[in-house]
Structure 1
Amino acid sequence: MKAITYIISNPVDVSDIVSLILDYITLGHCVCEDVMFEIKVILNELIVNAVQHGNKCNEYKHTYVTFKIIDNFLYVSVMDEGSGFNPAKTALINKNLDCVNNLYCDHGRGLVIVRQLCDKIKFNKCGNKVSIIKNLDVQQPKDV
């Protein structure tokens, strides 16, 4: 599959882009509802972060959402035109949501949630682009 890129300048368009990506995934792949829900959460969190925090809801700045599927893995990158942030700070945050709640109050949980739902997450050096990999297969728990 060739990569597809959507460009968002209006925050209102986020849900439409997420729906388009989800529709594309379900057309070509048999993915369970739980995984589709996780993908929806991942896309919403990453795109909203880029639009709100990266671009500061500036309609003259764009958010670029690129995705492709290879061998049942979803690859997504979201890049904004903001100045970025220090991704190392998110690596220091304990994955415990109570800790994040105490540190950030009304924000900061999105990336913690995304980290839990993805197989891999990576930021570019300046922190205005995030890339994730998500396995589209359901991981069955192993019998002990």
Structure 2
Amino acid sequence: MRAITYIINNPVDISDIVTLILDYITSGHCVDEDVIFEIKVILNELIVNAVLHGNKCNDCKRAYVTFKIIDNYLYVRVMDEGNGFNHAKTAMPNKDLDCVNNLYCDHGRGLVIVRQLCDKIKFNKCGNKVSIIKNLELQQPKNV
């Protein structure tokens, strides 16, 4: 499959773009409802971050969502035209939600959630582009 890119011009487009991507995934692949829900959360969090935090809701700036499916894995890249952020500090890969809730009042939890739902997440150096990989097969819960 070739990669498909959508351009987001304003926050109103977010729901439409997420729906288009989910429709594409479900039309060509048999994907469990739980996995679809996880993908919806991932897409919403990443795109909202790009539009609200990255582009600061500036109508002159765009966000770009590119996705493709290879061998039952979903690859997604979300990029904004903002200055980026310190992803090493904010994403806090070794912290859980309780810890993040205590540190951040109104932001910071989205990336922790995305990190838990993805198989892999990677940011570019300046922090205005994030790429994720998500297995489309339902995974067995990990024993804690």
**Superposition TM-score tier, normalisation by shorter sequence:** over 0.9
2:105 maps to 105
Normalising by structure 1, what TM-score? 0.95
CA contact (8 A) 2:93 2:115 kept: no
1:20 maps to 20
| 1-structure distance, mates of 2:100, 2:61 | 29
Query: Pairwise mapping of residues 1-144 of structure 1 onto structure 2 (< 5 A)?
Result: 1-92=1-92, 94-141=94-141
The Cα offsets for residues 74-93 of structure 1, whole Å up to 9 and x where unpaired, read as 00000000000011113546
Normalising by structure 2, what TM-score? 0.95
Unaligned runs of 5+ in 1: none
Displacement after TM superposition at 1:12 (Å): 0.5
How many residues are matched? 143
Displacement after TM superposition at 1:94 (Å): 3.9
Counterpart secondary structure, 1:68: strand
Counterpart secondary structure, 2:74: strand
Unaligned runs of 5+ in 2: none
CA contact (8 A) 2:54 2:81 kept: yes
| Alpha-carbon RMSD | 1.5
| 1-structure distance, mates of 2:105, 2:91 | 18
Counterpart secondary structure, 2:76: strand
When structure 1 is superposed on structure 2, of 133-142 and 52-61 the one drifting more is 133-142
